[in-house]
Amino acid sequence: MKIVTAAEMRAIDRATSERFGVPSLTLMENAGSAVAQHVLAHYGAAQRIVVLCGKGNNGGDGFVAARRLHEEGKTVQVILLADPADLRGDAAVMFGKLQQAATVVHSSDHLQSERVRLVLPADLYLDAVLGTGFKPPVSGLYADAIAILNASQAPVVAVDIPSGADADAMGPQKGIIARADSIITFTAARPAHVFSSLTEGPTYVAEIGSPKEAIVSSLQLNVITARDFAPLIEPRPAESNKGNYGHVLVVGGAVGKAGSVAMAGMSALRAGAGLATVATPKSVLPTVAGFHPELMTEPLVETPEGTIAASACERLDALAKGKSVLAIGPGISRFPETSALVRTLVSKSEVPIVLDADGLNAFAGRTNELSGKGRLLVITPHPGEMARLAGCSTADVQKDRLGVARRFARERELIVVLKGHRTLVVQPNGEAWVNTTGNPGMSTGGTGDILTGMVAAMIAQNPNEALLAVCAAVHLHGLAGDVMLESVGEHSMVATDLLRGLPEAFWRAQRTAREKFVCWDG
């Protein structure tokens, strides 16, 4: 799903009406109806609902939602924070269709009056004061209304965006902002919906009538949703066999680091690869083979330090033949001889490669040797590994995650998966996809190895849809963590819990892809 600026969203609405013939009143009716449907579905027990409305189109959406909720038998009170004479266009039309009298508030003193305060208590508030076209800061009457919302114990649903927020911000917000237990926006996300932590609850995006052709953005930025990759996780044909779903070769491991490569291999199978072979130092192989009987293993010549020796290159060349994807790096170590082997393998391989962990560190200070030109190369660094590749500090990466990932993807002509809160998937042309699944419980050793195997597996199954395959793996990886959060919590989660959560993650993604609204958690 595209992420668009506030100005682009206004242009999308205009194009929908002018080029595609959908009246703006219809768009507003659909938006307000979507809000009402959201309330009925998720806050059905709320009987008394107060809708705070501004004078713009956001207020217009609120008027429609109020009318629809009234028709459903809810006790609805509209508070208009403006003179009705100031309403214009569609908002004025929708105000005129209200079936109950609104409480009109002209000033902060009026808002504090006994008459107004008598109508304020509610089971639920709808915040339809300021929309995504607003630019902070907020002051006066609107600021006082936001203060009332923030002091309330009742749930607050933000219409389009919490009032006071800057829709175009890609980080922390400043100034007075209304709290929100959930957000429902329309057509496409704005940057703040994804990057600004506007709510700890869910954000929903409702389609209200704009065709895909009208949704144009200059940001080269998207949010990953289950709908995007739904075709990749559809039920399999009855005549399937393991040969249909690819063979992943995982190269890695060293003495003391057998678990990394074993987890990568097993996650490839859990993510749907038909076969997975783990090539690892011969002294490490018994540990890997004992991890899961489904894994195939290949012993490699090793150094005295228990890492893969350079002389294993010929054997690895032979093993790579006929494989769908080569995953290099989990537990492979930074031993110089082994790092040199990694660089040789990456430079020679014609098989799609997923490169992670110390496989990436092998190119620190030597990124001129790392290129995806003419082939598929995916790297999956955490911020520290990204910093070593980009020649900057980890703090520099965290200050400009999107910029750093884009520059590196463009310069090296590869796909970057920059891990962390809001993991980024960036194409060689700079187009970026943002992931919204996952949680802090996944901040534990080995979860990156699980992701490596999943990325390799999804590519192996979908070689002609490599970008979507990577996005699917990233989304499902985080979703598996969210599944396990419900049973083990943040503090007790370990990497192998994700293997247990993956089956449910697949089921949830399949269900979510069929739902009416796109949704993600704050």
Q: How many helices (H) and strands (E) does the chain have?
A: 20, 18
pLDDT at 112: 84
* Three-state DSSP string of 486-515: HHHCCCCCCHHHHHHHHHHHHHHHHHHHHC
Superfamily of domain 241-515: Ribokinase (3.40.1190.20)
Q: What is the CA radius of gyration of the chain?
A: 26
Local confidence band at 125 (pLDDT 50, 70, 90 cut-offs): very high
Instruction: Average the pLDDT over 280-286 and give the result.
Output: 96
pLDDT at 247: 98
pLDDT in tens, 285-323: 999 999 999 999 999 999 999 999 999 999 999 999 999
Q: Chain-centre distance of CA 368, in angstroms?
A: 31
What is the DSSP annotation of 230-256?
GGGGSPPPTT--GGGG-EEEEE---TT
Q: How many CA atoms lie within 13 A of 373 on its CB side?
A: 7
By C-alpha distance, which of 447, 448, 416, 443 is closest to 429? 416
Local confidence band at 346 (pLDDT 50, 70, 90 cut-offs): very high
As its CATH architecture, domain 6-219 has 3-Layer(aba) Sandwich (3.40)
Q: What percentage of residues in the chain have a pLDDT greater than 90?
A: 94
By C-alpha distance, which of 197, 221, 215 is closest to 403? 221
Give the residue range(s) of CATH 3.40.1190.20 domains in the chain: 241-515
pLDDT in tens, 63-122: 999 999 999 999 999 999 999 999 999 999 999 999 888 999 988 888 888 778 878 899
pLDDT at 140: 92
Give the residue range(s) of CATH 3.40.50.10260 domains in the chain: 6-219
Q: Chain-centre distance of CA 272, in angstroms?
A: 21
Q: Chain-centre distance of CA 80, in angstroms?
A: 35
Q: What percentage of residues in the chain have a pLDDT greater than 70?
A: 100
Q: Are residues 359 and 366 in contact, defined by beta-carbon separation less than 8 angstroms?
A: no
What mean pLDDT is reported for the chain?
Answer: 96
d(CA 202, CA 70): 24
Local confidence band at 337 (pLDDT 50, 70, 90 cut-offs): very high
Instruction: Average the pLDDT over 480-494 and give the result.
Output: 97
Instruction: Average the pLDDT over 441-464 and give the result.
Output: 98
pLDDT at 106: 87
